[in-house]
């Protein structure tokens, strides 16, 4: 499948998955940095679809991604956002990161924060705006931590 076919397939596949739960909504899709972005509007089933610690949301992403892999899609990375959950979470993480950076700048002491990969990515990207701050990740798997330090 080429790029456009991959996006159409992922969109339809997610809509079909949601209809299994009785959720009949149109999924909005775009491509951003070689990742298919799928946006699901708010429904009464948001909490079920997102799940505790967004586990269900990640499972939906995995299922759609694996369906693309099995169909040999040109693009297989998928990001699903339900009712703007991820965007709102990213905003909250960015706000916290501003505070962390401010603290590191004031004290000069590095900070170690335990975050998941997506949240670490948000902080890394935000830290690029500061010439006197650097970030990197250390550790493996669930023990991986973000380090914010002054240059």
Residues 45 and 10 in one domain: yes
Domain boundary among 83, 102, 127: 83
List pLDDT tens digits, range 16-75.
999 998 999 999 999 988 899 999 999 999 999 999 988 999 999 999 999 999 999 999
Class of residue 6 by CB neighbours under 10 A (exposed 0-12, middle 13-18, buried 19+): buried
Residues 7 and 77 in one domain: yes
**141 pLDDT above the threshold of 90:** no
Residues 36 and 58 in one domain: yes
Q: Which residues pair with 109 in a beta bridge?
A: none
Strand blocks (E) in 2-151: 28-32, 35-40, 78-82, 111-113, 133-138, 145-150
For residue 67, the enclosing domain spans: 3-83
Domain count, the chain: 2
């Amino acid at each position: 499948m080429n790029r456009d076919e991959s996006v159409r397939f992922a969109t339809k596949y997610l809509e079909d998955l949601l209809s299994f739960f009785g959720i009949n909504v149109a999924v909005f899709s775009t491509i951003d940095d070689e990742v298919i972005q799928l946006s699901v509007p708010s429904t009464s089933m948001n909490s079920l679809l997102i799940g505790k610690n967004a586990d269900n949301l990640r499972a939906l992403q995995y299922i759609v991604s694996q369906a693309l892999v099995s169909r040999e899609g040109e693009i297989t990375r998928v990001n699903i956002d339900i009712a703007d959950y991820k965007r709102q979470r990213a905003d909250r993480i960015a706000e916290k990161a501003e505070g962390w950076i401010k603290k590191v700048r004031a004290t000069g002491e590095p900070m170690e924060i335990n975050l998941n990969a997506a949240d670490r990515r948000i902080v890394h990207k935000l830290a690029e705006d500061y010439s006197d701050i650097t970030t990197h990740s250390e550790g493996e798997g669930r023990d991986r931590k973000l380090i914010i330090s002054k240059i």
